[in-house]
Structure 1
Amino acid sequence: MRLKNERIRGGSFLLSSVSLDHLFIPEDLTDEHRMIGRMTSDFIEGEVVPNDQEIERQHFEVTVELLRQAGELGLLGADVPERYGGAGLDKISSAVITESMVRGSSFALTLGAHVGIGTLPIVLFGTEDQKQKYLPYLATGKKFAAYCLTEPSSGSDALGAKTVAELNEAGTHYILNGSKQYITNAGFADVFIVYAKVKGEKFTAFIVEREFPGLDTGPEEKKMGIKGSSTRPLILENCMVPVENVLGEVGNGHVIAFNILNIGRYKLAIGCVGTSKWVIELSAKYAKERKQFGKSIADFPLIQKKLAEMAVLTFATESMVYRTAGLMEEALASINQSNQDFGKQIAEAIEEYALECSINKVFASEALDFISDEGVQIHGGYGYIQDYKIERIYRDSRVNRIFEGTNEINRLLIPATLIKRAMKGKLPLMAAVQGLQKELVAYMPSLLEYDGPLAKEEAMVDAAKKIFLLISGTALVKHQQGLEDEQELLESIANTIITIFAMESCLLRTKKCLERNDPTRLKEEMTQVFIYDAFHQLEQTARTALASLEEGDRLQTQLSILKKLTRFTPCNTVQLKRSIARKILETEKYLA
């Protein structure tokens, strides 16, 4: 899959319109993509689900055998080039596999950690010798991988790691000492991607094999959710690692760590999409079956409202995630991995969309938490009982807001990344801020004529971008270099950016379907609901941010500008949500 014309810059959606030629949407999935999704779902339903209880009880011999079966089907090698034993699929196929895998619960996490953060560092940054040595085994399920970054004293602050590496006198091995915490797959992994500081300073990645002397693991952690996955500490006591097992360059471990985390963030979001659809299916079926006061609870408007809001959030998440997957595919597919500096090119390509990856992670994980919580509520008392799948989904979903950098850290990263890109001249942020005043003079949304489907919603997205410029511009002028200390304000800016990306992703997806004369009525309804509800929240966020920035007459001036930007007649979202719910209940599953 290749997109047309010039590549989109990361973060540019805030400052300019987006051509539909650059947009990948779920409706663009090919027959091959759908076939891969069905194969994955069939494997989960036929092989993993029957072994669910054994997996949940941490019978890892069952997990390992199922991973090997997945390897035989090619499900472990989607991101591994064919010459190293993988399938060499595009990033869209990889996304489809990730979404389709989620009904395997803990097994999905286990597999995802192996193929993603475990294997991808070698795929993307390994030397030719390292790829030939490890990838054929990792892609086929003969060996399994784990990723070791977190330490007892450093979680989101990855560069605060205390694990050290010293070169021995012979210059043949690095001696690693330290410990890692919360390592997924540690109970049975054969290969560990470990980060340590050479001479206590140079943050570096290493490929460490289980059989290397000095490597051990601690006991399994007792977790709230994802109980069937292995989570243990990794202990390194004079662990001897050959010098040829340095991954990338000494001192450049941060490049690998941060970019693998970026990929991990958007892959986590993809998994949240699949789980959200699953919750809607379980909840719709239960709502139709459950009788109260002489009728099905699906007939109650407040239950319908819940189902509609769950579907709308899923639609937004799905639109954002596949939009980002398309951007990642375009960026990575253009790189020739036989080039000498391919590692640098890959890092630059992934970093280009670091902003979007963080946006996806935050939005998707919080959307799933809301959706799974509402799923429990629809199930009532039964939702609190372990016999019902929704109870486990609710527990399992909670960790997503912690994985791959907490949502708080990602919210700080979003504006920081944007400002950094602007300072490097990659985005004309300050020029847009300076041009805002001129735009506002002639801007009168109440006088605009909305001609055509979703024209008003398009104007609202445009207004949201102006609100972002108003807040961020005021913040930059007032705080300048001190802005990084104003975390509440940065949170407001991040929330505004996240909301804009979500609103626009819904809008563009539906517009692209309209252009192709695809059936769109349900998409239009969900787009309208999401944009109106999100825009209202964005207005409140903006008021809070402006109140923290200004006071007196200056605050009143800013609030009058905000009022001008938010002067849109509301639509009847009550009826729209009822219409959406009816369609969901008719089919007993998520639709778009």
Structure 2
Amino acid sequence: MSDKTRGGQFIVKETKCEDVFTPEDFNEEQLMMRDSVKEFVDKEIWPNKNRFENKDYAFTEESMRKAGDLGFLSVAVPEAYGGMGMGFVNTVLVCDYISGATGSFSTAFGAHTGIGTMPITLYGTEEQKQKYVPKLATGEWFGAYCLTEPGAGSDANSGKTKAVLSDDGTHYKITGQKMWISNAGFCSLFIVFARIEDDKNITGFILENTKDNGISFGEEEHKLGIRASSTRQVFFNETKVPVENMLAGRGEGFKIAMNALNIGRIKLAAACLDAQRRVTTGSIHYANERIQFNTAISHFGAIRSKLAEMATSCYVGESATYRATKDIEDRIAAREAEGASHQESELKGVEEYAIECSILKVAVSEDIQNCADEGIQIFGGMGFSEDTPMESAWRDARIARIYEGTNEINRMLSIGMLIKKAMKGHVDLLGPASKVQEELMGIPSFDTPDYSELFAEEKEMIGKLKKAFLMVAGGAVQKYGPDLEGHQQLLMAASDILIEIYMAESAILRTEKLAKAKGADKAKEQIAMAQLYLYKAVDIVTQKGKEGIISFAEGDEQRMMLMGLSRYTKYTNMPNVVGLRETIASKLITENAYCF
């Protein structure tokens, strides 16, 4: 298998624009799927936002059944179990466009199709899959996922729920308390994690939600956002589950939970994208219609700047999400071609890109929050009112930084996983980091570079930012070795550099590919967005690089590394940021929508 697309290798390899997948590459089937999902959302979900905001849980369930009738719940399910058996890009595409109208429906959809169904399709026995997956694929049954407990959140393996084997050995009796369980109010089936005896790791079980089996529920939680997403505590009191309903092997529950979260993270990033498109478009509409001082506020520079930044973050999020999605799909296909089962191929394909999944989860969840916040600001006082969609979008966005692993956990995971890959020899960090150290000791070149080709300077800058990351991360590993995980603030700074590099590079590669296909003159707004994002990324790398270096280096070493950071974040030709924003905003305001 070619190693050119190994997860995490983007930080030490140069990627060609021809090797990335972009939204402009959607095929006819994918475009038809996108349009049918948008039609469903525009017809069934968006006009009924108030019902979701008023905690109409029954309507959430009804909407899920309609999605099931249209086949949207079955996109990722193999055909053998009643699904469409579509590829990973299609799966993420549906998750993207079905999630934009309200976080309540998005959460119900994501919990069911992801962590409610995928553990069975990926880890279940043939009998388990035949019995349960077809019902989940059609929406006849809905799934829920019981992992979190009052004392076990980010530390998922510390759960206290117990599974005790019955005297006759036919079933386990599960006793414990789970909380924040999405879809609990209407699910037919739980994926439950419990500990057998004093096992080091938890075990997964498939548990049918039947009466008179020791299952009880707390009241619906009253939440800041996702108000009509059914969220309840679930209590198990010697609840019986047949031994044949153990998922995978004993003690393998933690592995199931972690791999389910990897898939959930990239899908969560996708689920934030259409929300950004809708918030941005709504803000453009309002700015074009709102008259102050005898002028539409879309003419004011302060508003135009906000619109440009909102559209840019959305464009970049799309670029990075679909880049990683296709890399995963290609990895799955390569493993299947080598003879691996679909189950194993999908698990290993997603696991390979777990670093990118964590990066995307952090970046895009923070972008939708910022986007909704600016949406409120553009609407002014009206934005604070429940009568406009900005208020609910802002509240719904807030949960995205918490579930599927908090952004703090995911930041540390991205660096931790990269270091583990380096130790296993999957990503060569040591060689490039050593070269950067040698370069720092040498005399910098004073030659005038040739930037005649499109993105020549931007791609050189990306290469320099990668050197800055290797300098900071390499120095931190040298300083602390295996104790590095105890220095969380340093890890967070290094992670922010890693995130900005992946996101900025993805936007540049997408735009370069587009410009080569259509001509740079027809992609000038996309070029402006890629350049604007990179400019801001350079600022973040500068800030986080300083923070990291000063935290572990002293004296001459610190001075040398700070000089290196200055060298690696220096433009030859500084972009006109105001001009870039103006180019982007003009297009948005003319089109009266997010139009990329």
The secondary structure found in structure 2 opposite 1:76 is helix
Match of 2:457 in 1: 456
Contact 2:549 2:558 (C-alpha < 8 Å) held by counterparts: yes
Amino acid paired to 1:96: L
1:60 CA drift (Å): 3.2
Match of 1:208 in 2: 207
Please list, as runs of the form range in 1=range in 2, the aligned pairs for 1:36-435 lying within 5 A after superposition: 36-105=33-102, 106-201=104-199, 202-211=201-210, 213-336=213-336, 343-435=343-435
Match of 1:532 in 2: 535
Match of 1:575 in 2: 579
Amino acid paired to 1:373: D
Contact 1:13 1:501 (C-alpha < 8 Å) held by counterparts: yes
The secondary structure found in structure 1 opposite 2:539 is helix
- Partners of 1:503 and 1:115 in 2: how far apart? 30
Match of 2:565 in 1: 562
Q: 1:526 to 1:585 in 2, by over 3 A?
A: same
Contact 1:446 1:567 (C-alpha < 8 Å) held by counterparts: no
Cα-to-partner distance string for 1:435-485 (whole Å, 9 max, x where unaligned): 223344365377322121111101110000000011011101111111111
Amino acid paired to 1:588: N
Cα-to-partner distance string for 1:226-275 (whole Å, 9 max, x where unaligned): 10110001111101111111111111112211111011111010011111
Amino acid paired to 2:294: G
The secondary structure found in structure 2 opposite 1:461 is helix
Cα-to-partner distance string for 1:504-542 (whole Å, 9 max, x where unaligned): 101111122233235321111111111112112211111
Amino acid paired to 2:76: D
1:66 CA drift (Å): 2.2
1:345 CA drift (Å): 4.5
The secondary structure found in structure 1 opposite 2:494 is helix
Counterpart among 536, 542, 547 of residue 545 in structure 2: 542
Contact 1:165 1:200 (C-alpha < 8 Å) held by counterparts: no
Match of 1:496 in 2: 497
What CA RMSD, in Å, does the superposition of the two structures yield over aligned residues?
A: 1.9
1:370 CA drift (Å): 0.8
1:58 CA drift (Å): 3.3
- Partners of 2:151 and 2:337 in 1: how far apart? 36
Amino acid paired to 1:528: Q
Q: 1:445 to 1:345 in 2, by over 3 A?
A: farther
Contact 1:444 1:564 (C-alpha < 8 Å) held by counterparts: no
Q: 1:467 to 1:445 in 2, by over 3 A?
A: farther
Match of 2:474 in 1: 473
1:429 CA drift (Å): 1.0
The secondary structure found in structure 2 opposite 1:103 is coil
1:341 CA drift (Å): 6.6
1:338 CA drift (Å): 13
Contact 2:146 2:190 (C-alpha < 8 Å) held by counterparts: yes
Amino acid paired to 1:136: P
Aligned residues: 589
Amino acid paired to 2:527: E
Q: Structure 1 unaligned segments of length 5 or more: list them.
A: none
The secondary structure found in structure 1 opposite 2:174 is strand
Q: Does 1:585 align with 2:584?
A: no
The secondary structure found in structure 2 opposite 1:102 is coil
Q: Structure 2 unaligned segments of length 5 or more: list them.
A: none
- Higher deviation after alignment, 181-190 or 325-334: 325-334
Match of 1:26 in 2: 23
- Higher deviation after alignment, 481-490 or 544-553: 544-553
1:65 CA drift (Å): 2.5
- Higher deviation after alignment, 269-278 or 42-51: 42-51
Match of 2:32 in 1: 35
Contact 2:304 2:582 (C-alpha < 8 Å) held by counterparts: yes
Contact 1:119 1:145 (C-alpha < 8 Å) held by counterparts: yes
- Partners of 1:582 and 1:17 in 2: how far apart? 33
The secondary structure found in structure 1 opposite 2:135 is helix
The secondary structure found in structure 2 opposite 1:520 is helix
- Higher deviation after alignment, 69-78 or 96-105: 96-105
Amino acid paired to 1:110: A
Contact 1:214 1:239 (C-alpha < 8 Å) held by counterparts: yes
Match of 2:526 in 1: 523
Cα-to-partner distance string for 1:528-561 (whole Å, 9 max, x where unaligned): 1111121122111111111112222222121122
- Partners of 2:536 and 2:446 in 1: how far apart? 18
Match of 1:511 in 2: 512
The secondary structure found in structure 2 opposite 1:241 is strand
- Partners of 2:126 and 2:390 in 1: how far apart? 45
The secondary structure found in structure 2 opposite 1:16 is coil
- Partners of 1:376 and 1:493 in 2: how far apart? 32
The secondary structure found in structure 1 opposite 2:71 is coil
Q: 1:34 to 1:175 in 2, by over 3 A?
A: same
Contact 1:255 1:347 (C-alpha < 8 Å) held by counterparts: no
Q: 1:341 to 1:93 in 2, by over 3 A?
A: closer
- Partners of 2:248 and 2:66 in 1: how far apart? 31
1:421 CA drift (Å): 0.8
1:209 CA drift (Å): 0.8
Contact 1:164 1:200 (C-alpha < 8 Å) held by counterparts: no
- Partners of 2:276 and 2:356 in 1: how far apart? 20
The secondary structure found in structure 1 opposite 2:58 is helix
Contact 1:256 1:347 (C-alpha < 8 Å) held by counterparts: no
- Partners of 1:544 and 1:403 in 2: how far apart? 28
1:306 CA drift (Å): 0.4
Amino acid paired to 1:530: Y
Amino acid paired to 1:494: S
1:301 CA drift (Å): 0.4
The secondary structure found in structure 1 opposite 2:100 is helix
- Partners of 2:426 and 2:529 in 1: how far apart? 34
- Partners of 1:292 and 1:14 in 2: how far apart? 48
TM-score by length of 2: 0.95
Amino acid paired to 1:138: L
Q: 1:50 to 1:291 in 2, by over 3 A?
A: closer
1:92 CA drift (Å): 1.3
- Partners of 1:444 and 1:542 in 2: how far apart? 22
- Partners of 1:446 and 1:154 in 2: how far apart? 57
Contact 1:543 1:559 (C-alpha < 8 Å) held by counterparts: yes
Q: 1:507 to 1:340 in 2, by over 3 A?
A: closer
